[in-house]
Structure 1
Amino acid sequence: MVLVMSEEVRAALEARQPVVALESTIIAHGLPRPRNLQVALELETAVRQEGAVPATIAVLDGRPHVGLDKEQLERVANEDGIRKLGHRDLPLALSSGASGATTVSATALLAALAGVRVFATGGLGGVHREWTVTQDESADLGLLARTRITVVCAGVKSILDVPATLQRLETLGVAVAGYGTDRFPGFYLSDSGHPVDWTLRTPEQVAGVMRAQDALGEPESALIVANPVPEEEQLEPELHARVLADALHACQEEGVTGQAVTPFLLDHLVRHTDGASLSANLAAVRGNVRLAARIAAAWARG
């Protein structure tokens, strides 16, 4: 597989300058037009303001791109038929010449192959509720168990089974640390209600853990830096609990199953919180992108 790296990303990696990987699913599938392109450009600008180079990742015409120019970003944002690609879909997309936006797992894989060590996203996928019945678990977890990358996120989506996800990450050997907190964040919420065992407080501390990972060698697993959305920007917890309960009931009543569950629940939250859940989501992503850039800079300094 030949990765297509933008000249800016290639030059930054060769010069050991900080680079931050960004997923493209939020552009193609997470936001309405034209806001999606505005947010994509805003996130890239935030990375640059912190002194790092953004590397938004997508597959275009069967070629994996690490770093997109403005025309390519516009294509991902506006073109109909852009697929949603997990890492399992990459061989199919590449061989068929398809175009697609990359999810967490596909972005992490392509970033690692390109030599980009830090990746910023919103919330991870995880173990779904009623796992004992459905056996439904995000591919993010298995991929992160075998990919050396640092993922800055706001925890896992609160529609998931958070304690089961934390247990699964422990079983898979994926390191998890709260950033400035001993509580695991809940995506829309600053605190999911569950603790984390380790707390890191500066980008330099995160970079130190990354170096320790390399010194230890195998296994090639990820480091998850769980960065909570600020309390003043989180979704009001009582509203979140009430709307999520309604969403889960509606999901059951309408017989929604499988891959359709997550988009159904997220859409329900957006509509029944008057967009407040989307605002909290974007606040989390913005904070994660800036922190990731600072971590990448600390990592680059060696």
Structure 2
Amino acid sequence: MERSNPGTDFRLDWFENIQVNTPAAERRATSLTARRSLKGDWQAAWLLNAVRCIDLTTLSGDDTPDRVARLCAKARQPVDAAHLAVLGVEGLTVGAVCVYPTMVAAAKRALQTTAIPVASVATGFPAGLMPLDLRLAEIRYALDQGADEIDIVISRALAIRGEWAALYDEICAMREACGAARMKAILATGELKTLINVAKASHVAMQAGADFIKTSTGKEPVNATLPVSLVMLRAIRDYRDRTGFAVGFKPAGGLKTARDALNWQVLMAEELGRDWLDPSLFRIGASSLLADIERQVSHHVTGRYAAAHRLAAG
């Protein structure tokens, strides 16, 4: 996968004095999504765009190669082919399949005739509480298994204590271990305590070479929210203005409905522009979201909601 961000030297002055007005961020996020009303064909088009940006995910303790193979079959044909034909759409797939390192080989086998990348979580996901050498070894293992993208987790304690240079050094080491693979840095925003920490951690991850910054592991008590996403998008915009490099964004955890898919795309379009409505710069980490999107597309095409058993699960 093509990398989008070579990173920079550590520049504390770029973010040291950042302040975030939390009530204003909450109002902005709420008002943006409330102003846009997408209906009919426009809504269907935005929902299908969300599908191609989904990192279809299974990160369960009981994952098996067979479960991953089923998920990959859904990734290859995420929406009923007959419905897509009515809408004049061909070749729709999800953006990637995301699994644990030990499931990468199974995913690669199931997707070998497609261009769908396999993303692997690594670095002691979800907590990241492992010695650094073991976290780097896990990245190398996932790559050896065939992973195209690596979703790393940051050390939350370093961010909470404000040890930004140490956090930068760790993420740089992870970036080096990833080599040519695209790296997504998971900030675990629900555990960073403040929006200021979210903004600063976003800058550090991008300076260290993250190609995407990602909200959450999906395992925290609070995962992706619109205000947190707004703060991260403003950091991406600031970084782009300073460096000219475009960094992607991935909300994960808590996005379950078609309305969520629309809301986050509206936020992306309003804050960063239409270029960020492409899987090269926008991914949605989800396991159950696709089912509701497919349900809404089915309703748009047929005029009625399909029974749950007619929509194949991953």
Return the structure number with greater relative CO, CA threshold 8 A, min gap 6: 2
| Structure-2-length-normalised TM-score | 0.33
Larger radius of gyration: 2
| Structure-1-length-normalised TM-score | 0.34
